[in-house]
Structure 1
Amino acid sequence: MDTLARLKARPLYLSQFEALRGNGLIKVVVGMRRCGKSSLMRLFAQSLEKQGVPADHIIQMNFESSAYFNTRTYRDLVDAVQKQMQGEGRYYLLFDEVQLVESWEKAINSFRVDLDVDIYLTGSNAYLLSSQLATLLSGRYVEINVHPLSFSEFLTFIEVDEVECAFERYLMYGGLPPVVEQGEDQFLAQTVLSGIFDTVFVKDIARHVQIRNSLVLSDIASYLADTAGSRVSVTNIENRLKSAHRKTSTETIERYLQALVDAFLFQRVRRYDVKGGAFLQGLEKYYPSDLGIKNMLLGFPEGDYGFALENAVCNELKVRNYEIRVGKTDTLEIDFVAKRKDETLFVQVSASLMDAQTREREFAPFKAVSAKPGKKLLLTLDRLGLGMQGDVEVCNAVDWLLGRS
């Protein structure tokens, strides 16, 4: 089965395409490189044809393809589209990596105003897209956030029934489709992951951030991977770089941190005062958007599953469209406070609760927010001791990731 067919197992995103179809807004599909944006665009085009849209009314352009090397300004783009629009009726414009076209937003705005079109764009850099969208298209677009394969998608993709072994593989190599295709071959997986990271560095970071020392950026990325789940201090990063004889200013570190977030390599999770209801300044946490990228940066270490599990839960909450933050209550911390519309989840993650001290430590933050409305959820790899414990639901993390609890 080829990659395109396998990606049909991603109904979450295709349903979003369909729900937003023809709503008058520009659809902006964002996410890190190789997470499946382009394939989803092709699948959507196939879906449109199956629903009766003529093939010549679906215009697809990937600006990283050699076929569009000469389409580099907004005037080139307008000319290219007008040449293909020869008939009556609505056209669908599907553009990949549109930020490669100079002043592309002018062309997109003109299409929106002058033509009967439904427009879909992809991009792999939040900064490049948002800065240009804000100029002419503010309030006229909606984002579709695409993530690496969730664990449930991963199982469908690899077509296996052995869940526990598959989960170990997922924690090690992550869910980027071209990496998953390599099976359990660590050398091939690492080669593909390294290539993806290098591509992100060159195409999505270096293009808009002046990189004077590429090793500094790599060191910061490795530091964030190594400290995923821990509070990050710019001062600590600065000291670590100094110890490696790479003196770097605070401003540069902050720019590089933002660049890694803009390229969707990492998610920044801010701290939140649960009792006071306000965000706290500094000491945010950073989680890699894909576990394979994290392990590649660290040389595929064998270690504690607890941090990898917490990272997987963070990524799953994002897939489920929760806004997440780290909860602070006096001296205690809740791994995630997740909000979606009128729903609130208080989530703790622990690989095991078999140790009495660990169990007491993980339950303590829930007591501090017992009066707060919201579901209290404790996720663990244990299979024993599950169910309601007072107002806290203890769930097996794998079952929760698969939507079974």
Structure 2
Amino acid sequence: MQSQFRPIIRQKILDAQAAPLPSLTRRDVWLPAVAGKALAVIGMRRAGKTSFLWQLLAERHALGVPREGLLYFSFEDERLAGLQAADLDVLVDEYFRLHPQWRDQRRCTFFLDEIQVVSGWEVFARRLLDSENIELFLSGSSAKLLSREVATSMRGRAMEAVVTPFSFREALRHAGQEPDKPAPNLGKAGQSQLEHLLLAYLRDGGFPEAQGVAMDARSRRELLRGYVDVVLLRDVIERHNLSQPQVLRWLVQQLLGNTAGAFSINKFHADLRSRGVPVGKDSLHQMLAHLEDAFLLSSIALATDSVRRRQVNPRKVYPVDTGLMAVFDPSGKPNLGHALETVVLHELQRRGAAVGYVLTSSGYEVDFHAALPGGEQWLVQVCLDVSDAATLQREVRALQDARLDWPRARMMLVYLSAPPALAVPAPIELHRAIHWLLQPMDGTS
């Protein structure tokens, strides 16, 4: 097959396989184990998807797969501008010309990054799975195709692995401070240090590029603001050809400036109308969906079996990263209580839980009801400081009231600070945040 891109593709293959493996912070991303599927690595821009592809490549190499059996190829290269779906066969062609002993004889692995820039790539990827002995990983995010659409475009032939900003454990690992034993087994000094680091994590967030004490607060804030601007412009405004970008920005300010708060499209729409802004409710619903598709934020509904109750009650909205809170909070500072709540939600989602919030008939609210993949249910209340007796009593009462509707659920109170002697009625479980967040993914101590 003749192609003007053949020499470029061949050289990129040679360069990628000759390049030293980068030294990267290991990520704790859950990978589905389903044979015969491609794996689509998805997530918000700058969360570390490309780095994760290299991590997967390095892990296979460490297990004994030679470098020639592992190919990382990025399509984000100006020399490949104009590449068509028909040219993608050149990639396979050139790879097996370089390594003919691998064709059909051994299973090689392709890591195709930013493949969505090539129109028609989906047919090529499905054909690779059907006709070649290749394990396939895909990733990408752009205005042409959002990262989640990389998976859906494969029509059932791909599973998703979601890469988020660093978890608390990953942030500690990145800084070289991950504990080498369970957090409860650390001494008092070690636990105090962890609490200090958690406060910094709640404030600064987990985007890899924003880590490190060397970055001042203003630089970090501008970096994160830039991330949001790119998502809004490329992944929402350009991608969906929005005609009211200012309304989108007002919506984002409302959502990210009110983390963990109840949000109602109806109320926001009424507020805009009172200011003379002509926009339809359907447009606002679509904007919220676009923001979630771009992984900028997530919203959770009321935990109930009633579809009508879910629809009529407001949703609670959380940013993808706590570092974004100070960018949009009018005070310029994050609410640490809401930041801790956000981090707990992200940890539940990493564990594969379906999450909603609870509002009891008596008017009490519990932050999260989590239905875990194994069938276990958790009621999780998050509180920054339970030193005040009235605060503790309110949190306990909410859990007890919620359990009347969820009798099989474990009740957990996750807190940052507490008095030395803290007691709650059984079977409520007390969890210090630095311990709970560093538990293994199965939830065991």
TM-score scaled to structure 2, two decimals? 0.81
Match of 1:351, SS state, is strand
Offset, 1:307: 1.4
Correspondence list, 1:290-301, <5 A: 290-298=321-329, 301=332
Whether the 8 Å contact between 1:386 and 1:395 is mirrored in structure 2 is no
Aligned pairs for 1:76-87 (under 5 A) are 76-86=87-97, 87=100
Q: CA deviation at 1:243?
A: 5.6
Q: CA 1:165–1:65 in 2, change beyond 3 Å: closer, same or farther? A: farther
Displacement of 1:173 after TM fit?
1.6
Q: Provide Cα deviations, 1:230-258, integer angstroms capped at 9, x if missing partner.
A: 22111222234346654322122111101
Q: Offset at 1:51?
A: 2.6
Aligned-pair CA distance for 1:112:
1.2
* SS of aligned partner of 1:59: strand
Q: Report the counterpart of residue 358 of structure 1 in structure 2.
A: 391
| Structure 2 CA distance for partners of 1:300 and 1:95, relative to 1, 3 Å | farther
Equivalent positions of 1:337-376 (< 5 A) are 337-340=369-372, 341-371=374-404, 372-376=407-411
Question: 1:111 offset after TM fit, Å?
Answer: 0.9
Q: Map 1:25-44 onto structure 2 (within 5 A).
A: 25-44=37-56
**How much has 1:291 moved relative to structure 2?**
0.8
- 1:306-360 deviations in Å (ceiling 9; x for gaps): 1111111111211222221112322332210111122111001112223333223
Q: One-letter code of the match for 2:163?
A: V
Structure 2 counterpart of 1:54: 66
Hey, what's the Cα distance between the residues in 2 that align with 1:237 and 1:4? 46
| Correspondence for 1:379 among 402, 414, 426 | 414
| 2:59 equivalent to 1:74 | no
Contact 1:125 1:264 in 2 (8 A): no
Alignment-mate amino acid for residue 398 of structure 1 = I
- Answering whether residue 249 of structure 2 is matched by residue 218 of structure 1, we say yes
Alpha-carbon spacing, 1:295–1:349, altered in 2? closer, same or farther (3 Å): same
Aligned partner (choices 167, 178, 182) of residue 209 of structure 2: 178
Residue equivalent to 1:120 = 137
| 2:431 is the counterpart of 1:395 | yes
**Contact 1:61–1:68 (CA<8 Å) still a contact in 2?**
no
Percent of aligned positions that are identical: 25
Could you list the per-position Cα deviations for residues 75-102 of structure 1 after superposition, in whole angstroms to 9, with x for gaps in the alignment? 2223333222232232212112322221
Query: One-letter code of the match for 1:139?
Result: G
What CA distance in whole angstroms lies between the structure 2 residues aligned with 1:279 and 1:360? 28
Q: Which moved more, 1:350-359 or 1:25-34?
A: 350-359
Which AA in structure 1 matches 2:43? Answer: G
TM-aligned CA distance change 1:222 to 1:355, over 3 Å: same
TM-score, scaled relative to structure 1:
0.88
* 8 Å CA contact 1:182, 1:188 repeated in 2: no
Q: Distance in 2 between matches of 1:60 and 1:303?
A: 39
Deviations 1:274-302 (A, max 9, x none): 7x698611411111011112322336723
Residues 270, 279 of structure 1: 8 Å contact kept: no
> 2:299 & 2:133 partners in 1: Cα distance?
38
Distance in 1 of aligned mates of 2:321 and 2:334:
17
Alignment match of 1:334 (pick from 366, 377, 382): 366
Query: Where does 1:313-332 land on structure 2 (aligned, <5 Å)?
Result: 313-330=344-361, 331-332=363-364
1:91 aligns with 2:108: yes
Indicate whether 1:165 and 2:196 are aligned: yes
Q: Could you say if the C-alpha distance between residues 365 and 342 of structure 1 is closer, same or farther in structure 2, counting changes exceeding 3 Å? A: same
| Partners of 2:260 and 2:341 within 8 A in 1 | yes
Is 2:281 the partner of 1:250? yes
Equivalent in the alignment of 1:23: 35
Bigger Rg over Cα: 2
- Distance in 2, matches of 1:381 and 1:257, equals 31
Structure 1: stretches of 5+ with no match in the other structure: none
Provide the C-alpha distance between the structure 2 equivalents of 1:374 and 1:23, rounded to a whole number of angstroms: 33
CA shift in 2, pair 1:279/1:56, >3 Å: farther
Residue matched to 1:280: 310
- Offset of 1:61 from its aligned partner? 2.1
Is the CA contact (8 Å cut-off) linking 2:380 and 2:412 kept in structure 1? yes
Tell me: CA distance 1:281–1:107, structure 2 relative to 1, closer, same or farther (3 Å): same
Report the alpha carbon displacement of residue 223 of structure 1 after superposing the two structures with TM. Answer: 0.7
User: Residues 98, 345 of structure 1: CA spacing in aligned structure 2 closer, same or farther, 3 A cutoff?
Assistant: same
Q: Which runs of 5+ in 2 are unaligned?
A: 1-20, 178-189
Moved more, 57-66 or 98-107: 57-66
Deviations 1:354-395 (A, max 9, x none): 333322321222222435112100112223244653211122
Give the 3-state SS of the residue equivalent to 2:71 in structure 1: strand
**1:145-156 paired onto structure 2 within 5 Å:** 145-156=162-173
Q: 1:182: Cα distance to partner?
A: 6.4
Equivalent pair of 2:48/2:163 in contact (CA under 8 Å): yes
Paired residue secondary structure (2:382): strand
Distance in 1 separating the partners of 2:272 and 2:210: 31
Name the SS of the counterpart of 1:379 in structure 2.
Answer: strand
Query: 1:387 touches 1:393 (CA, 8 Å); kept in 2?
Result: no
- 1:294/1:303 Cα in 2 relative to 1: closer, same or farther (>3 Å)? closer
CA distance in 1, matches of 2:120, 2:309: 36
Cα root mean square deviation, aligned: 2.8
Alignment partners' CA distance in 1, 2:77 and 2:95: 18
Rounded Cα–Cα distance in structure 1 between residues aligned with 2:70 and 2:427: 52
